[in-house]
């Protein structure tokens, strides 16, 4: 891969790592349990299931690895816009239909223009960080149910949501970017210290290691890690309970908690700037190229054991 092409690919990766922008689901049938189809009648990458007017599930379904690419941005933005604008909605649960993967990293194959041609979102931030900010600030409660790998963008989407619940046996969270020679861009450097403390945030970000469900719970990366067999019932019961409460009171509580806990747009914008600068360095170009050669996006073992492969790439560098 030529240097300019690789830079473009990596920069495109960043848009994913930072936020989630414009168009998923056509308006679904308002009936309980209906899934929103795409324009051509097929289901899209982010499927909205309206469990009730007050409670939706958004299921990520992009096999084999739930990789996020430029085409994902307008689809997720549509979901975010619907969440913001529905007057009856109170709680949304994000989950995955792909075994072993919640949401992973950006698609390195499409050209940069496919992502950079998208305009900034309503916050003025680039599309991905814009969508993540809007999810955090929406009056709707957002919950992620992590069963499988939440890496890069998957971790950043999880951090942007209000609550995170993980499978003790099957959840894996990580910010792997350091192992590929660049910095994250989707907000984890601002969000993680507020959740887990400075030392643990630096451990997560500077090791690039996988964090299992038990450790994620101990650190505060997730609210709770539950036995896998209990995860679905716990999250569904919690979501249904929240959906019975007064929407204005929910919105008021979130607004006041947000004021003392969310990073500013300026902090998140600085992460994006850092990412864009870092992906242009030779180290990042070399490491991502090597990961692609090892089978990133193609080999299930690479996607499942990403920390092992980034370690291999790091150890193989000429000293």
Catalytically active residues, by annotation: 156, 177
Sheet holding 55-60, edge to edge: 34-35, 46-52, 55-60, 91-96, 141-146, 163-167, 224-226
DSSP 174-234: E--GGGGTS---SSHHHHHHHHH-HHHHHHHHHH---EEHHHHHHHTSSSEEE-HHHHHHH
The residues near 102 (Cβ < 8 Å, ≥ 6 apart) are: 60, 66, 95, 96, 144, 146, 147, 148, 149, 150, 154, 158, 171
- Asked whether 152 and 177 are in contact (CB, 8 A), the reply is yes
- Helix or strand run (H / E) with residue 8: helix 3-18
Spatial distance between the Cα atoms of 70 and 225, rounded to a whole number of angstroms: 31
Give the phi and the psi of residue 135 in degrees, each rounded to 5.
-60, -45
Closest CA to 294 of 281, 307, 313: 313
């Amino acid at each position: 891969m030529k240097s300019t092409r690789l830079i473009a690919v990596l920069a495109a990766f960043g848009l994913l790592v930072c936020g989630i922008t414009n168009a998923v689901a056509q308006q679904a049938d308002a009936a309980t349990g209906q899934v929103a189809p795409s324009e051509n009648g097929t289901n899209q990458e982010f499927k909205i299931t309206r469990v009730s007017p007050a409670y939706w599930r958004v299921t990520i379904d992009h096999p084999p690895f739930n990789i996020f690419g430029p085409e994902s941005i307008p689809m997720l933005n549509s979901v975010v816009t619907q969440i913001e604008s529905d007057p009856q909605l109170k709680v949304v649960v994000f989950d995955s239909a792909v075994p072993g993967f919640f949401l992973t990293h950006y698609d390195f194959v499409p050209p940069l223009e496919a992502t950079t041609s998208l305009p900034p979102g309503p916050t003025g931030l680039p599309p991905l960080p814009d969508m993540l900010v809007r999810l955090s600030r929406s009056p709707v409660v957002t919950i992620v149910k992590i069963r499988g790998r939440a890496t890069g963008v998957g971790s950043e989407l999880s951090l942007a949501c209000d609550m995170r619940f993980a499978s003790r046996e099957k959840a894996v969270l990580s910010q792997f970017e350091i192992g590929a020679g660049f910095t994250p861009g989707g907000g984890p450097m601002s969000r993680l210290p507020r959740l887990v403390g400075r030392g643990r945030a630096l451990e997560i970000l500077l090791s690039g290691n996988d964090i299992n469900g038990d450790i994620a719970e101990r650190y505060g990366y997730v609210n709770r890690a539950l036995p896998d067999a209990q995860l679905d019932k716990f999250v569904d019961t919690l979501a249904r309970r929240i959906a019975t409460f007064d929407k204005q009171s929910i919105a008021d509580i979130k607004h006041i908690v947000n004021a003392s806990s969310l990073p500013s747009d300026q902090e998140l914008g600085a992460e994006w700037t850092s990412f864009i600068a870092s992906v242009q360095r030779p180290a990042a170009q070399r490491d991502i190229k090597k990961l692609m050669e090892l089978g990133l996006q193609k080999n299930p073992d690479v996607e499942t054991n990403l920390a092992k492969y980034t370690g291999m790439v790091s150890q193989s560098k000429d000293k």
